[in-house]
Homo-oligomer: A and B are copies of this chain.
Amino acid sequence: MTPQKPSVPKGTRDFSPAEMARRDYIFDTIRQIFRSYGYQPIETPAMENLTTLLGKYGEEGDKLLFRILNSGNYLENITEDIGGTKDLSRLTQAITEKGLRYDLTVPFARYVVQHQHEIAFPFRRYQIQPVWRADRPQKGRYREFFQCDVDVIGSDSLLCEVELAQIADRVFSDLGIGAILRINNRKILEGVAESIGQKERMMDITVAMDKLEKAGLEPVMEELRLSGIPEDAVTKLEPLLRLEGKIKDKFLFLEELLQHSEAGRKGLAETRFVLEYLRKLELHNKFDFDITLARGLNYYTGTIFEVKALGASIGSICGGGRYDDLTGIFGLPGVSGVGISFGADRIFDLMNEQDLFPVQIGTSAQILFLNLGSAEESYSMQVAERFREAGIAAEIFPSAAKLKKQLEYAGRRGIPFAAIIGEEEMSTGMIMLRNMGTGEQREMREEEILFEVGMRKEEAGDNY
């Protein structure tokens, strides 16, 4: 057989040890914060039944699902001529019944309904797993990527919104990312549409408003007109689109505008509660009330969140909102929840770009025992085992290769110390310790080395 040129599928990636260390740094930080607020992990299978996934992400989303070909003779019940009829969607339906998960929200809704009798509500859960989308790959957009979702389900208390904002603030503060948290409320958007006499056109209006930051005022107004919103309604909207400045001023304006809309007034009250609470909690990052924030997904019913990194061109790195009926479609209506999702891959790219990872991050051994021959090797094996028991990751070079080669290996791997045990050391019980950074060597006792290597490990914050 001719050798195959090895590659991974388009839009997917391998993660090297150095990349894993950085990714784990992000995941561990996020996970620890989630847990400190009492959130508990769940995991769901990579594959879901297509009946669970289809129809939840819009027509476009359905097309982006990766479908698994049925096993065995999947053509068994196909009667027509496949090549002849080319009725793609009927055939697809007939030969696939499972798909890869597209996000973590729908599997979570399915989980909650399926396990409702085991769950103590309100249920605070987090989930960190990959998702797959057959999107066109491009810079920063992958076909396999990781989501970190955190949700409270089974409570309509606005305290949950406050807590999630706190968590997002804490995550970005701990990762060293300067961020701004923007908050809006779906009910305010409803109120706005109602107040300009276009209640039924809320979706078109919010979709257009969402583009304000990127496109600017005129193009948004033009889009509104083109979508058939009457000129007088667009005119009524204009001052809102021009609205900038203090949160207080935004409220003053909106109270006036939304006075006759029940939804609008409720949305304003909810937003006021959340923002007031956040002000009292003294977050590390700035937050703002952004009336143009819409977010695409249809299932939000209340608060909407989005986090953007300061000084970065990258899009949102975290977002979410309140949904009043996510589980209804699986037969459990009337359960309110709220959640946010962190985009691990964008956060990873951003932290690389802004050089935010700690220098000493890594999963290498702290010390390499050089291999000087079979007697020395056997002796070193025992010493290395004692190092491991003391919490020091220790490697031994597996063969008595040239010392130069062994030291080069330690260098390439980024191992900070090398231990050299030859005949003399075996007889005296000492160990020659080489600092790989400076090249210094010193005969030391085992306990001294354990202390020195351990200190360095602690300084580096490495805690394997």
Contact = CB atoms under 8 A, between A and B. Distances in A.
A364 B83 contact: no
A330 B3 contact: yes
A124 B13 CA distance: 20
Quickly give the copy total for this chain: 2
A134 interface: yes
B47 A393 contact: no
A411 to B, nearest CB: 8
B82 A49 contact: no
Interface string A211-248: 00000000000000000000000000000000000000
A69 B71 contact: no
Given A36-B388, A329-B1, A9 B394 contact: no
A7 interface: yes
A333 to B, nearest CB: 8
A4 B330 contact: yes
A252 interface: no
A68 B143 CA distance: 13
A385 B36 CA distance: 9
Contact of A398 (B44, B152, B363): B152
A16 B42 contact: yes
Interface SS of chain A: mixed
Contact of A73 (B44, B46, B84, B88): B88
A97 B134 CA distance: 13
Contact of A125 (B17, B49, B368): B17
A395 B125 CA distance: 12
Given A37-B388, A83-B82, A378 B277 contact: yes
Given A68-B68, A81-B83, A399-B155, A393 B37 contact: yes
20 contacts: A3-B328, A4-B329, A8-B49, A14-B42, A14-B111, A15-B43, A20-B42, A36-B464, A40-B363, A40-B364, A46-B46, A47-B66, A69-B95, A73-B88, A74-B88, A75-B82, A159-B377, A159-B398, A277-B381, A281-B385
Report the 7 A-B pairs with minimum CB-CB distance, sorted nearest first. A82-B83, A38-B395, A83-B83, A3-B331, A38-B365, A12-B45, A80-B83
Given A6-B330, A15-B44, A16-B118, 20 more contacts: A3-B329, A5-B330, A5-B331, A8-B48, A8-B49, A9-B47, A9-B98, A14-B45, A14-B115, A16-B42, A16-B115, A20-B43, A37-B365, A46-B132, A47-B66, A71-B134, A81-B83, A82-B82, A162-B381, A277-B378
